[in-house]
Structure 1
Amino acid sequence: MALVSLFFGGFGLLFVLAWLLSGALVFHRPTESALARHLLRLRYPTPQERAQLEPVWREVTARAGVEGRNYELWVEDSDGLNAVAAAGHIVGVTRFAVHQLPNGELAAVLAHELGHHVGGHAWSSLLGYWYALPGRIAWRVLRAATGFMYRVSRVFSCFGVLFFGLCVSGIALATISSLYGLPLLILAVPYALAAVGRRSELRADQHAAALGFAPMLAAVLHKLHHQEQQQLAALAAAGHAAPARTPASTLLSSHPDYHTRLHHLGPYLQPPR
């Protein structure tokens, strides 16, 4: 953003300050509702769904010792198993979770999302997403540009690849000498946010487990893993290659894998002695 502000001359500082202050909108309840409706594609529950959700939600918040009325329950029209904690007061679950999960497993899902709110993950992740958005855009542009340059350089065989390497090295040295290498931090932004996301997921799992929902949460994770395996099998049956699991894709994932989450739930699943 500081680099972009250079194009605004004397108004550059005001531009940066306005962008920083815009993050306060995530604490505005109408803005939260607009984000839930238009960005996350959530809706208010029907009377039947509310009758299903609210008793379970009261049980979860009572165990946690928090006021459940401070949060709003929303529903996503999806046949997949998923849930989300958004901004500071929104807990969203899919239609599948409401209608297909037993109350105990639904409680585990809600307890996990409440853990995001109690731990401050929902607000921090939304603020992180907003403030990192320029970095994400710049990272994608940089990746597309370097990818294009590399493909063009390959046309000229090894000399083209060598020229590409020299160009990239020259750009890196220029940023280090003139801008202290700050633009290179753009490359680390997606990885840093993904690492924070994985840690917050494990913390939310721990919150649900500490409330007594560890066995139910493990069952939910098993169902989620089974759905993912079915989706991969459907892709293979349709003749499409499954997304390759590479070290880079693992580092960019915002959620830990199934086995990692089960491993961290292990101490809560052991019978008391």
Structure 2
Amino acid sequence: MVVAAVAFGVHVIWPLWGAGVVVAVWAVMLVAPVAASRAYGYREPVDAERVRLEQAWRNVQRQAGAGAYRLVVVESEELNACMPFGRTVAVTSHSARSLEPGRLEAVLAHELGHVAGWRTVPAFVHAQVTLPSRAGLWALRGVWAPIAPMWKRAVAWHRPIGFLAVFLLGVVATVATALLVLPAGVAFVAAWVARLPRGRAEARADAAAVRFGFGADLVAAVEHRIENAPHGLPMPLVRRAQGLRRRLG
């Protein structure tokens, strides 16, 4: 439904190819792992991360009685990653490189709780609803990113060709932004609506981690994050820690 709405919006602006381009890009995002990883911001663990993650991930899957799930990393300084999708579980680079083994297992159990069992379906739907906004933001960044480096080169060259290249890149980026503004707006509204039940999803994932036997370590990880918060008291994490304490009795 979201893709259809975006395709219609682009078709109004670009009648000849608009809808086809939107559907084609969405299809590529679904079937091409590289393209999807760029839109989602996920990547495979590097060697140092893989060493820390492999044993912890095996322990979590064994204790949870889960099947084979793909583990990916998202670049973030947060404790938890954004909601994963399908049979893919995401962990933040901060957690992968800095948490001690027990707390790392607890965070992985929380992330697994997002997609374990029947939750695979809502996680996949959530991922597809929010995908157009990620793809739109990635596309806009891509068209504007070359302009600043090209401007620096033009100033260094002191040649008209450099400034002409900057001008042409600016025109292309402006046209692309104008074409994307309507579908991007629809996509961001859809993504915002999809994130409204985020709090309940986090609570359900925490409850799953407690059932898997990782509740105490997850509380420790959350409370450590609260104690070391750089900008005041993070109330969402405080409420989360309170909820975990209640579940642990």
Q: TM-score, normalised by structure 1?
A: 0.55
Residue 175 (structure 1) aligns with: none
Give identity over the alignment, percent. 26
1:71 alignment partner AA: R
Q: What does 1:220-231 correspond to in 2, within 5 Å? A: 220-228=221-229, 230-231=230-231
Residue 103 (structure 1) aligns with: 101
Q: 1:35/1:258 Cα in 2 relative to 1: closer, same or farther (>3 Å)?
A: same
Secondary structure in 1 matching 2:197: helix
Q: CA shift at 1:74, angstroms?
A: 3.5
Alignment partner of 2:113 out of 107, 112, 115: 115
Q: What does 1:76-225 correspond to in 2, within 5 Å? A: 76=75, 81-84=79-82, 86-118=84-116, 119-120=119-120, 121-131=122-132, 189=190, 191-225=192-226
On the 8 A contact 1:209/1:268 being kept in 2, the answer is yes
Say whether 1:6 aligns with 2:9: no
Residue 154 (structure 1) aligns with: none
For structure 1, list consecutive stretches of 5 or more residues without a partner in the other structure.
Answer: 137-184, 234-244, 246-255
What is the Cα-based RMSD across aligned positions, in Å? 3.8
2:102 alignment partner AA: G
Q: CA shift at 1:131, angstroms?
A: 4.1
Secondary structure in 1 matching 2:89: strand
Q: CA shift at 1:219, angstroms?
A: 1.3
Q: 1:3/1:37 Cα in 2 relative to 1: closer, same or farther (>3 Å)?
A: closer
| Structure with more relative contact order (C-alpha pairs < 8 Å, separation 6 or more) | 2
Q: CA shift at 1:61, angstroms?
A: 0.9
Say whether 1:51 aligns with 2:51: yes
2-structure distance, mates of 1:135, 1:75: 18
Q: CA shift at 1:4, angstroms?
A: 3.6
On the 8 A contact 2:85/2:124 being kept in 1, the answer is yes
For structure 2, list consecutive stretches of 5 or more residues without a partner in the other structure.
Answer: 1-5, 138-185
Q: TM-score, normalised by structure 2?
A: 0.60
Q: 1:110/1:25 Cα in 2 relative to 1: closer, same or farther (>3 Å)?
A: farther
2:99 alignment partner AA: L
Aligned length: 193
On the 8 A contact 1:108/1:214 being kept in 2, the answer is yes
Structure whose alpha-carbon radius of gyration is higher: 1
Q: 1:21/1:223 Cα in 2 relative to 1: closer, same or farther (>3 Å)?
A: farther
On the 8 A contact 2:209/2:215 being kept in 1, the answer is yes
